[in-house]
Amino acid sequence: MLAEGEACTLAIRSENIKTAKEEGENTVRGRVENLTYKGLSTRLEVTGCFWETVYPSVPGYTGVAAGDELLLRFPPDRLCVYKKQ
Query: Residue 17's CB: how many other CB atoms inside 10 A?
Result: 20
In CATH terms, is domain 8-83 a member of 3.40.50.740? no
Residue range 49-60: average pLDDT?
91
- All residues at 6 or more sequence positions from 76 whose CB lies less than 8 Å from its CB, including other chains: 25, 26
**Is 80 exceeded by the pLDDT of residue 74?**
yes
Report yes or no: 2 and 8 within 8 Å, Cβ to Cβ: yes
Report yes or no: 75 and 19 within 8 Å, Cβ to Cβ: no
Report yes or no: 9 and 58 within 8 Å, Cβ to Cβ: no
Q: How confident is the model at residue 61 (pLDDT cuts 50, 70, 90)?
A: confident
Read off the pTM.
Answer: 0.84
